Structure 1
Amino acid sequence: MNATMQTSSVSEAQQSSHSYHPAFSGTATTTPSSHAPIKSRPIAATVVLFGGLIALVLGLFLSINFGAADISFKVVWQAIFQFNPELTDHQIIRELRLPRVFGGAMVGASFAVAGAIMQGMTRNPLADSGLLGINSGAGFMLAICFAFFPGLPFMSVILFSFVGAALGAGLVYGIGALAKGGLSPARLVLAGAALSALLSALAEGIALYFKIGQDIAFWYAGGVAGTRWDQLQVMFPWVAVALVMGIVLSRSVTMLSLGEDIARGLGQRTGLVKALCAIVVLILAGSAVAVVGAVGFVGLIIPHLTRKLVGVDYRWIIPCSAILGALLVIFADIAARMVNPPEETPIGALIALIGVPFFLYLARKERREL
């Protein structure tokens, strides 16, 4: 009887035209502890994972090899595996290009997984840390940090970024909840856009008043050029723990993506799951913003692409999103160095060239479905 009720609930959720259901397509599988069908493509997901890892390794070597200084692949190989601190080319590889490429990979994975969890948890196809005020909140707190507490270690900077991310998310959801008719994807995005503009204006005002514009200009432009090993040493444990938590929570996120009532009926403690998911999102987005600044749309584009490739089972979506997000940022960084050499174009601007049309397409599609 329980199995019949669960299947009936899933069917009702899929028939609702006023809720977000991320592309139910592919091979139907069944969760171990329930009989609710979750459509996924495990073979395609395996191909994405292994193919993405191969492409990621290739992208890492291309990014390390490419730059203002013309360094051969042989020298790159020697700098990585036979480092000689007396050679300038080896120092460039070790101290500039390696932390840059590893930072880009971690940032891309962080933004993508944060977006995937947000979209699954809220059933909002427009959810992204950049669109819902998380990135701007983190940037606002970074401006306060540089203005009032200059010289803080990077660990403290990341903590400020976490607080700002939580502030931005809380204000956006609070403003959206005050709207007549409750929360909706469109209202959340509008609230996020308004709050992002406000927080960005306040941060710029702080920067002008305290004359720290140059200190935070890098974070607003968005880029990985200034990434250092000490930043990565602080960032890596946070990101690693958050990614593992995201994978552990992936089955629960899949249940939430079917609807909160269904998830509760399947035995999920939805309040606890949402709280843990929110913590993961804030850690991932806050860490990424602290390193590269306000790079948006990674968390919007990658989860949608991943669902098209692997289906709607978040046990596949989250790891695949991490790989594809890392690929996007790494190759965007390579492109940023090719647009106007030797100058570098902010990767945030390049990704926005893809992200803005994609966002408009999703917003129009969502409007047609409502």
Structure 2
Amino acid sequence: MSVHKLPLISSLLPSKTALPQTPDSRKKRTYRHSLTLFSLCALLLFTCILSLVIGAKSISPSIVFESLRGTVTSTASQIIVEARVPRTLVGLPVGAALAVAGALIQSLTRNPLADPGILGVNAGSSFFVLIGVAIFGNHLMSEHLWFAFLGALTTSLFVYFIGTYKEARVNPLKITLAGVALGALLAGVSSSVTLLNPQAFDEMRFWDAGSLDIRNLSLTFTAIAPITFALIVALLIAPGLDNLALGEDVAQGLGTNVKQTQALALLVIAILCGSATALAGPIGFVGLMIPHVARKLASSSQRWLTLYAMVLGPLLLISADIIGRVIAVNEVRVSIVTAFVGAPVLIYLARKLNSFGKL
């Protein structure tokens, strides 16, 4: 049974049909999306302010403002400048990268369960970073970025190959199972390597947990350039992905270079996942949940979907970080909070698909 004959799956994925739009309807749609996006940006700004105010120790907004201006020097000011500002700034590019990567993976594979974590991309990035530390003695962020990128790209290509092997199109079940299996394998090998290499274990034990607790802003700025580049490319290839949603034959008829669009999408996914993982460690489920929320807002437009994901990803990640700091004195890692929220979402989506006999 084809995907477009299943109403639920069609609601989870980009629409394959679009009604002709008049100039007036197009303007109204653009205005509605712009207003919604502006509202979400305002909410994200408010969440960033909350991230500076709320934590194991709450600090008044006035002290936060004075600390940012540099007019006060106190313990509270030190907490804000050295701890909360860096982790809030880290959450912005990492959240955007993971959310957009998830949206691209779901659009490219036509799999509503696809996610950088579920497909093993994060595990591949972590494994290659570990190899760089254990074998090549890498310690610099720039070195981690390159190895994480290679890991993400290699894993993406392998899982995509398995999902399309002897198939006319991507098989959602095969690609999900391949990703989960590969991720589990790489995680097991990574654990063995860290246990056998004390130096690698010492360097990886905090990073591998997935956290925004990064005190060095220079690390964040190192990852911003490749993430920004990848996000721009994601917006540029959005029309091609819209056409691919109609089928490869139709996309070619509309003038889309299918192979080039797919290759660029894989490259963007690798850059986004590799950069985000190198910066904050493996964080799962952001790329699973956010695209579904963004798709409800964006309807059939991949470009608006990407823009919404850029805002909703950081919004979720920073909110999860705030929750993790509040519920425990020693804080709960953001990856644990996102997993706690994302696991039920995955189960819900899987059961919905299973009810139509697709899993």
| Unpaired runs of at least 5, structure 1 | 1-12, 33-37
For 2:76, which of 89, 93, 99 is the aligned residue? 89
2:280 aligned residue: 292
2:249 aligned residue: 261
> Is 1:174 aligned to residue 164 of structure 2?
no
- Separation in 2, partners of 1:83, 1:148: 46
Deviation at 1:183, TM superposition (A): 3.8
Alignment of 1:1-370 (within 5 A): 16-17=5-6, 21=10, 22=13, 24=15, 28=19, 30=21, 42-82=30-70, 87-178=74-165, 183-211=170-198, 212-340=200-328, 342-369=329-356, 370=358
CA 1:108–1:26: 2 relative to 1, 3 Å: farther
- Separation in 1, partners of 2:197, 2:222: 27
Deviation at 1:107, TM superposition (A): 0.8
Residue-by-residue CA offset, 1:131-180 (whole Å, 9 max, x unaligned):
11110000101211221233532111111100111122122223334467
Q: Would you say the 8 A contact 1:26–1:311 is kept in 2? A: no
- Separation in 1, partners of 2:17, 2:159: 34
Deviation at 1:354, TM superposition (A): 2.1
Instruction: State which drifts further: 352-361 or 297-306.
Output: 352-361
Q: Would you say the 8 A contact 1:45–1:320 is kept in 2? A: no
Give the counterpart letter for 2:195 in structure 1. L
How many equivalent pairs are there?
351
| Unpaired runs of at least 5, structure 2 | none
Residue-by-residue CA offset, 1:56-86 (whole Å, 9 max, x unaligned):
11111110112334432112111212356x5
Deviation at 1:18, TM superposition (A): 10
Q: Would you say the 8 A contact 2:132–2:138 is kept in 1? A: no
TM-score (norm 1): 0.87
- Separation in 1, partners of 2:14, 2:29: 12
Residue-by-residue CA offset, 1:240-263 (whole Å, 9 max, x unaligned):
111111111111111112222211
- Separation in 2, partners of 1:184, 1:137: 21
Q: Would you say the 8 A contact 1:23–1:311 is kept in 2? A: yes
- Separation in 1, partners of 2:37, 2:163: 36
Deviation at 1:343, TM superposition (A): 1.2
Residue-by-residue CA offset, 1:198-237 (whole Å, 9 max, x unaligned):
0001111110000132321223321101252011110111
- Separation in 2, partners of 1:333, 1:23: 30
Q: How big is the alpha-carbon RMSD for the aligned residues of Structure 1 and Structure 2?
A: 2.7
Give the counterpart letter for 2:355 in structure 1. R
